[in-house]
Amino acid sequence: MSSEWIPSLVHFFGMMLLVASFGIIAAPQIMASVRAYAVHSFLLAVITVLVALAGHVEHLLISAALTVVLKTVVIPRVFSKMIHRLGVRREVESYANVPFLLLISVLLLFVSFYVTSGLRGLEPVFSKEFVSIAIFTVFFGMLVMISVKKAMTQVLGLLLIENGLFLLGITMTFGMPLLVELGISFDVLVAVFIMGIFMLKIRGAFEGIDIDDLTELKG
Amino acid sequence: MTIGYLLAIPVVSAFCCLASGTKAFVRFFFVAGAVLLAAAGEYFVFTRAGQGNLFAFGGNLFMDPLGALFAALIVALGLLSAVYAGGYLFEEGPSAIPLRKLRRYGFFFHLFLFTMLLTVFANNLGIMWISIEGTTLASAFLVNIDDKKSSVEAAWKYLILCSVGIALALFGIILVYYSAALGVSGGGNYLLNWTFLAGRAKELNPQVMRLAFVFILVGYGTKAGLAPFHSWLPDAHSQAPSPVSALLSGVLLSCATLGILRFHILTKAATESPFSGHLLIFFGVLSVAVAVPFILDQKDYKRLFAYSSVEHMGLVAAGLGFGGAWGLYGALLHVVNHAFGKSLLFFCSGHLLHQFGTKEIGKIRGILKVNPLLGGAFFAGIMAITGMPPFNIFVSKFFILCGGFAGGHFFACGILLFLLVFIFAGFLRHACNMVFGIPEKTVRAERNRVMDGVLLAGVFFLVLLGVWVPGPLHRLILGAVSVAGGTTG
């Protein structure tokens, strides 16, 4: 692969990343959302590899490998196990309908590009569009967290925010030091396991994992 | 002895608790681990604190006076809390907690201490982030011990809200790293090390540092319980078992505040403007203001103490924002004082819950008649936490306000004084109703000498620190003030 191809390829995968994001919110079932997240993470890993090749930053390859193993294999596995144990195969219940959420997502995308275009002093090492895409992914993760009623999708939203930050890290600075990246990945993995255990506890205490039911504590 | 050995103690204790076969063994490792950690920690901190920065693990961990102060606090509170929990959770009888849960509890308790120590010893800002996220993960299980609806809900909110908050802080750290990678020559692997950045702060891009500080303040502010990001705090503090509430309120919030302080020092030096200080003052005063209505009209005494933590973290943030020798000394002393005062109140709440069987303020009358020792300790704790002399918090509040007036922040100080009057009135009303009067019904009056001893120790510290700050602690705080003021780095 010659190096001139890399920027256009990265842009192509960046667009695919956006499509995968929309897939998460448009998916009819939770498992489909999880698959869309796996695709999202895989594309993230591909972009990481391309950035690593373009910038000759070898330690990013390790981060990419870790992303593939952790976020496209292990975490979706954990999710599908959880879905089986919790017995939630039903449709995703949102507070708003899918077209409306997609409209908001597009709006968020515009906002992300708008706010980053005005920033002075931010000259990323790789490509300016990716700062916008990364910030969009963070916003989008928050949208996923607040728009869907299941506890599981809150975790998915959190993971999306983390993906967005990872993308920001690799495109702005060629990634954080490897030690820090490893630590963050470890934290994410542990967080997913612990949140999984708590989802079982919520199911045990509330007979469901709808966030609407969590209204015991006030004042 | 090095930082590594100190950090190994809680990890070993954690796994010993997990591997124990009987309740007696869990209890032994649980308490003995905390005693050992406290003895080793205090010895280490006070012998090495004056001798400059101490590095470990290739410069990723270090101990400066600022970190040393917080470490001393963590191990001391860990000891009090573990001793109290040794009586509180290992009770026999119909409501005894099963062995399986106690093992898990001991494991996560010591892991929680480990992650907090790692936070204050972290030099690499990325590692600091990882360990702050670690504190959330380790303590989520401690918040939920009985699997009731309310405690599961509190733990879930705690996990999700703090994780999102911390994710925003990571955004800030990426910006700092970017600013360092771009502006600072040399460095390589040290680019995220706080000592390195503090020495070269002038070379950091001021615009990016401002942006980064906003994200850090929101992110770590969530964890520190600053309003308006505090909504997880009253839930988690009221649902956790009392010894855990004491740790959460006393030191966890302060650890996150240390995270903010580290970035505040960098931002102040890089931008050469009071930008970050003003933000801290704003959110500090806002936190005190938000706490007022919830303190005045509160029905649950553990939530009352939780909102009081929001107030005190607000005061600390305001003190750090005021800056100057008075403001910084006051804020750091306030961290110490609040830790002892609030932990005493939460230990009292453990006694109250045990003896009266309710968390409602309105259902408790005449503590002084039922249990004079508890009533006295509780009232002393309330007086201390509202800032009455001769107790310690009066001194640090006074210093913080002095710092504010000395720095010319008359408006902010005026609002703070005004709000503190309301908080005092609210606390006094609740406390008088609870402490005095005639108890409504007969209550359980079992005694546990060790747990009563923890209360007495708490009162002792409150009065001691109120009239005299011991020499080593004074020197430690002065060292920390000089780090925070940017005179050494």
Mean pLDDT, rounded, of chain B: 89
| CB neighbours of residue A128 within 10 Å | 15
The 10s digit of each residue's pLDDT in B311-363 is 999 999 999 999 888 999 999 999 999 999 999 999 999 988 888 888 888 88
Establish if B380 belongs to a structural domain.
yes
* Mean pLDDT of the A1-18 span: 80
What is the C-alpha to C-alpha distance for residues B65 and B476, in angstroms, rounded to an integer? 6
The 10s digit of each residue's pLDDT in B269-317 is 998 888 999 999 999 999 999 999 999 989 999 999 999 999 999 999 9
Q: What are phi and psi of A165, to 5 degrees?
A: -65, -35
When comparing pLDDT for A157 and A92, which is higher? A157
Query: Would the pLDDT of A1 be above 60?
Result: no
Query: How far away is chain A from the Cα of B153, in angstroms, using its nearest Cα?
Result: 6
Give the pLDDT score at A126.
66
Collapsing DSSP to helix, strand or coil, B131 comes out as helix
Neighbouring residues of A157: CB distance < 8 A, sequence distance ≥ 6 = A141, A142, A143, A144, A145, A146, A148
Establish if B489 belongs to a structural domain.
no
pLDDT-derived band at B442, boundaries 50, 70, 90: low
Range of the domain at B144: 3-484
Give the pLDDT score at A87.
75
Q: DSSP assignment of A128-191, as one string?
A: HHHHHHHHHHHHHHHHHHHHB-BHHHHHHHHHHHHHHHHHHHHHHHS-S-HHHHHHHHHHHHHH
Query: Would the pLDDT of B1 be above 60?
Result: no
| CB neighbours of residue B464 within 10 Å | 14
Establish if B424 belongs to a structural domain.
yes
Check: CB of residue B137 under 8 Å from CB of residue A194.
yes
Query: Would the pLDDT of B214 be above 60?
Result: yes
pLDDT-derived band at B147, boundaries 50, 70, 90: confident
Query: Would the pLDDT of B114 be above 70?
Result: yes
Query: How far away is chain B from the Cα of A59, in angstroms, using its nearest Cα?
Result: 12
Q: Which residue does chain B place closest to A151, by CA atoms?
A: B156
Establish if B244 belongs to a structural domain.
yes
- Chain A residues with CB-CB distance to B182 below 8 A: 123
Give the pLDDT score at A176.
81
- Chain B residues with CB-CB distance to A165 below 8 A: 167, 170-171, 174
* Mean pLDDT of the B71-75 span: 94
Query: Among A121-135, B252-266, B394-408, where is mean pLDDT lowest?
Result: A121-135
Domain count, chain B: 1
Q: DSSP assignment of B415-456, as one string?
A: HHHHHHHHHHHHHHHHHHHHHSS--SS-------HHHHHHHH
Give the pLDDT score at A31.
86
Query: Would the pLDDT of B111 be above 70?
Result: yes
User: Across the strands, what pairs with B193?
Assistant: B124
Question: How long is chain A?
Answer: 219
Query: Would the pLDDT of A2 be above 60?
Result: no
| Interface residues from chain A to B (CB-CB < 8 Å) | 119-125, 138, 142, 145, 151, 154, 158, 161-162, 165, 168-169, 172-173, 176-177, 179-180, 183-184, 186-187, 190-191, 194-195, 198, 201-202, 204-206, 214-217, 219
| Percent of chain B clearing pLDDT 70 (strictly above) | 96
Q: How many helices (H) and strands (E) does chain B have?
A: 20, 2
pLDDT-derived band at B445, boundaries 50, 70, 90: low
Would you list the domain boundaries of chain A? 5-209
pLDDT-derived band at B489, boundaries 50, 70, 90: very low
User: Across the strands, what pairs with A150?
Assistant: A210
Q: Which of A196-205, B15-24, B43-52, B242-251 has the highest mean pLDDT?
A: B242-251
A38, A158, B201, B353 from A23: Cα distances, Å: 11, 16, 43, 50
Establish if B49 belongs to a structural domain.
yes
The 10s digit of each residue's pLDDT in A52-81 is 888 777 888 888 999 999 999 999 998 888
